[in-house]
Structure 1
Amino acid sequence: MQKEINKVELRNLAFEDYKQLKNSMIKSYPEMADSYWKPDEIEKLLAIFPEGQLVILVDDVVVGSALSLIVDEKRIDKKHTYLEILGNYTFSTHNPEGDVLYGIDVFIHPDYRGLRLGRRLYDARKELCEQLNLKSIVFAGRIPNYGQYAKKWSPKKYIEKVKHKELHDPVLSFQLSNDFHVLRVIKNYLEGDEDSKEFAVLLEWNNIYYDESPKLINLDKSVIRLGLIQWQMRSLSNIEALFEQSEFFIDVVSGYNSDFALFPELFIAPLMADYNHLTEAEAIRELARYTDSIRKKFQEFAISYNINIITGSMPLLENGNLYNVGFLCKRDGTSEMYTKIHVTPNEVHHWGMKGGSEIKTFDTDCGKIGIMICYDVEFPELSRIMANEGMNILFVPFLTDTQNAYTRVKHCSQARAIENECYVAIAGCVGNLPKVNNMDIQYAQAAVFTPSDFAFPSNGIKAEATPNTEMTLIVDVNLDLLKELHEHGSVRILKDRRTDLYDIKKIEK
């Protein structure tokens, strides 16, 4: 990626986007430079089916699009050409009462490929298909590499080679990886498509939630998947090695469709090995030099892997003061900083750290969350303020050297889950780090804790990792259960507080 991305947005196409849409399409199809959508065609699509036309923007510039129609299933049972499915660009084939979402175009500007933005467009199409209660998504995909093999293989043979990963096709390989299956090959589909020899592959994705008796589908996401990373401290030669190891874990938890990845507190500490000849206070200030680069890289990972990343924590030097901070890198490309408010005596004595002064919650595409770094979870007032602001999930990146230190974090986290009727996810570092002063041993056990009532595990533990072993923990939490608990639980802790006698509130500065 050539420059830092500040924001990624996926939304419906507006006619005012046309100029940027055209520019990106021309860049995407250099071999068909004159085949871009014309203004009147876009205007028609927006008039007949506005919700089916999607764009993805990077820093407010359109860099990709997915366009579609609704058609009758019988149309795809017949052999057809691209012009026929478009009604020769009149879009007369669109039927609001049809049962199939037909994709008529998808593209991503070449400068923004590799960030999995195309996958986001496909995921948005799938959500639309489910929301509209349509049977499936169908489209005819080009096979642009087929021309290189047309003399020795039939399209059927070529498709089999791609399916078995013996060959890579930039279009077909992508579609198959997105759960589309091949219906049949269509001849003479797109006139002038020499790369594909005018063949296309009719592909389909089935909506498993389709109901022939249409009903409203709950559009709010209630089940959130958490990916907790129990990080092994190891020697790292440079920051690139840190990024490589981090990306491995992000790839793993993203591969399981996690909504969040949680890293531990100060997991970047191995980079201090180069400064072990300095005092501990000097060494950690050298480590702070990496913080901005790490934030930028994790923002890129959040976009590329379509996941919200909580970066654990790292030192930040600001106006001569040293803080322990982390970043919530959202999958839309934005980021927000959080700061450890209560620093431990050890952090003050060895590093000269100071505590932050802002208590806040964060809005995400999975609802409102809170983040507290390690020692902060031992102060119940903070999480109560967050709960009052609507927090459903509290994330706690931590770093503990001994089992009794971990016990404090664990049991306080469980208490926070019970008293605030929320989920609490914790993740820490494990192993030894002999070449870094004041960071030599670690003890951790990642876990997700729940409230204590009938809908939840009887011990209040949704899942736990193996202690002191590098691993990931993938856990689903259901926000609907929290809503039910708040209103109809055996006890209703948030509702039954005697605010006529006591209350907790922030001090406005």
Structure 2
Amino acid sequence: MIDSAKIELRNLQVQDYEELKESMIKSYHSMPHEYWTKKEIKTLIRKFPEGQLCIEIDNKIAGCALSIIVDYDKFDDNHDYDSIIGGENFSTHTANGNVLYGIDVFIHPEYRGMRLGRRLYEARKELCEHLNLKSIIFGGRIPNYSKFASELTPKQYIDKVKLQEIHDPVLSFQLSNDFHVKKVIKGYLSGDHESKEFATLMEWNNIYYTKSGNLVKSTKTVVRLGLVQWQMRLFKNYEALVSQIEFFVDTISSYQSDFVLFPELFNAPLMAEFNHLNEAEAIRGLSEYTDRLLETFREFAINYNINIITGSMPQAVGDHMYNVGFLCRRDGSYERFEKIHITPAEESAWGMKGGNQVQTFDTDCGKIGVLICYDVEFPELPRILKDQGMNILFVPFMTDTQNGYSRVKICAQARAVENECYVAIAGSVGNLPRVANMDIQYAQSAVLTPSDFAFPVNGIKAEATPNTESTLLVDVDLDLLKELHNFGSVRNLKDRRKDLYSLKLRKKNKS
């Protein structure tokens, strides 16, 4: 479990050296005397600062990726490690090269299992694309080969790793991150007895590479959303529900999604154990799981490198019960959001109270907003969020009948048009016959858009099959919103008559 872990992916600094050295020694336990000198790290940072990446957790270096740029046309595939990196001065590095060459990646043993290596590899890919380099190449160790060398050639070993008949901690990871084996090299790294001094020359091709070069730096504008259409059913226990959560997070993150959205009150199946209580007491019992689920979601956000919008859960604050959710960012931070408008059923059955927080949230994909179900039926809230800079509105919902669902969808679609934004809605399906007030569900999750030439004619980017557990993966282009705002057929935001009316959020103290 994590408490207040803060994860930051950043460029390595010279003052990080002592922690870097300690992490490397522990990472390469079989070669404890092989670590970079401070002079070498200084040289790398001076020559190519943006190519030296590290992950810091709670002010401690947890992982590192070092690289240079080389003119690969001057080398052939049979090179060795020392010749390709140019010795301790890295003399082969050139800003005019065409390949990003990886010279080291390692993760401190204490932080393995958090998928930090994948995060470093993704950062390298983004750097390769940004610098308009042809590919990423490096020599990869095959540390488990020594166990099979007497019976398998390197080629046979690699083939078995590809077929997952053998697991190699390095090669298996590289293959799962879209690298392919370009060649087997003999004598690549002197002293690598675990690999029998063999190495796999690994390559990842930049499909956006253009020979012309001179690309200007551009900000990422296409954001991938993953929506969970959650099946309501009874779970054997809390751990079984968490396992289902992780399945969806794992699945959606494997498609390199930026966000995953869960529905409102998705954890309602856990209420079955409180059926002997009245409805108000049962929802309070369910709220006892909220803090545990928050910590679980925070772990998953870090481990799977994805921003998670947790849907909503009941939370007791003093004598009051609120319907709340959390944005768990992939850097370990999180924020809380509240349902502002409580339905009559929530108030009468559960004694729910409306929250007071209306705000956008900063993410690595820009500002977002989150409104829980009924809240999207009040146009003032999304307009306030849009005025704060929101481009994507997430709406976790729970509706029992199709007419209830239609209210949410129709209003969400109107909000997309009014506010020139994308709206993602995700709900639950199925039934819970043993849970009072939660017995039937209806949903069709969707991503909704403005209605203009750059968008689908019906304002629906994509939608799931109704009443079937599934995921929905959708790319949304934020640049299209800018074009709409400036050149759209109609300009809903620009054409507001502020000389006649205005909208203002009042500050209110929490009760």
Q: TM-score, normalised by structure 2?
A: 0.97
Rounded Cα–Cα distance in structure 2 between residues aligned with 1:92 and 1:459: 58
Rounded Cα–Cα distance in structure 1 between residues aligned with 2:205 and 2:39: 32
Rounded Cα–Cα distance in structure 2 between residues aligned with 1:216 and 1:184: 30
Secondary structure of the corresponding residue to residue 416 of structure 1 = helix
Q: In the alignment, what sits opposite 1:134?
A: 133
Secondary structure of the corresponding residue to residue 321 of structure 2 = strand
Secondary structure of the corresponding residue to residue 89 of structure 1 = helix
Alignment of 1:331-480 (within 5 A): 331-480=330-479
Question: Deviation at 1:187?
Answer: 1.4
Contact 1:237 1:271 in 2 (8 A): no
Rounded Cα–Cα distance in structure 2 between residues aligned with 1:358 and 1:324: 12
Amino acid at match of 1:503: S
Cα deviation, 1:310-346, whole Å, max 9, x if unaligned, reads 1000011112211000001111111110000111111
Q: In the alignment, what sits opposite 2:303?
A: 304
Q: In the alignment, what sits opposite 2:152?
A: 153
Secondary structure of the corresponding residue to residue 271 of structure 1 = helix
1:124 matches 2:123: yes
Secondary structure of the corresponding residue to residue 5 of structure 2 = coil
Cα deviation, 1:131-173, whole Å, max 9, x if unaligned, reads 1111111100000000011111111111111122221111111
Q: In the alignment, what sits opposite 1:281?
A: 280
Q: TM-score, normalised by structure 1?
A: 0.98
Contact 1:142 1:199 in 2 (8 A): yes
Question: Deviation at 1:217?
Answer: 4.7
Q: CA RMSD in A?
A: 1.2
Rounded Cα–Cα distance in structure 2 between residues aligned with 1:218 and 1:189: 35
Cα deviation, 1:273-316, whole Å, max 9, x if unaligned, reads 00100011011101111101101101111111111111000011
Q: In the alignment, what sits opposite 2:61?
A: 62
In the alignment, structure 2 segments of 5+ residues that lack a partner are none
Runs of 4+ in 1 over 6 A off after TM superposition: none
Secondary structure of the corresponding residue to residue 30 of structure 2 = helix
Secondary structure of the corresponding residue to residue 308 of structure 2 = strand
Question: Deviation at 1:78?
Answer: 4.8
Rounded Cα–Cα distance in structure 2 between residues aligned with 1:54 and 1:375: 44
Amino acid at match of 1:142: R
Rounded Cα–Cα distance in structure 2 between residues aligned with 1:156 and 1:4: 45
Q: In the alignment, what sits opposite 2:485?
A: 486
Q: In the alignment, what sits opposite 1:27?
A: 26
Rounded Cα–Cα distance in structure 2 between residues aligned with 1:457 and 1:67: 43
Cα deviation, 1:67-110, whole Å, max 9, x if unaligned, reads 01111113441522222223221211111111111100000111
Rounded Cα–Cα distance in structure 2 between residues aligned with 1:336 and 1:44: 40
Secondary structure of the corresponding residue to residue 102 of structure 1 = strand
Q: In the alignment, what sits opposite 1:91?
A: 90
Amino acid at match of 2:62: V
Q: In the alignment, what sits opposite 1:228?
A: 227
Rounded Cα–Cα distance in structure 1 between residues aligned with 2:58 and 2:218: 27
Secondary structure of the corresponding residue to residue 244 of structure 2 = helix
Greater mean alpha carbon deviation, residues 339-348 or residues 72-81? 72-81
Alignment coverage as a number of residue pairs: 508
Rounded Cα–Cα distance in structure 2 between residues aligned with 1:217 and 1:266: 45
Amino acid at match of 2:368: I
Rounded Cα–Cα distance in structure 2 between residues aligned with 1:366 and 1:236: 34
1:254 matches 2:253: yes
Rounded Cα–Cα distance in structure 1 between residues aligned with 2:283 and 2:504: 34
Alignment of 1:188-227 (within 5 A): 188-217=187-216, 219-227=218-226
Question: Deviation at 1:5?
Answer: 5.2
Rounded Cα–Cα distance in structure 2 between residues aligned with 1:479 and 1:473: 19
Identity of aligned residues (%): 67
Rounded Cα–Cα distance in structure 2 between residues aligned with 1:468 and 1:278: 29
In the alignment, structure 1 segments of 5+ residues that lack a partner are none
Contact 2:77 2:201 in 1 (8 A): no
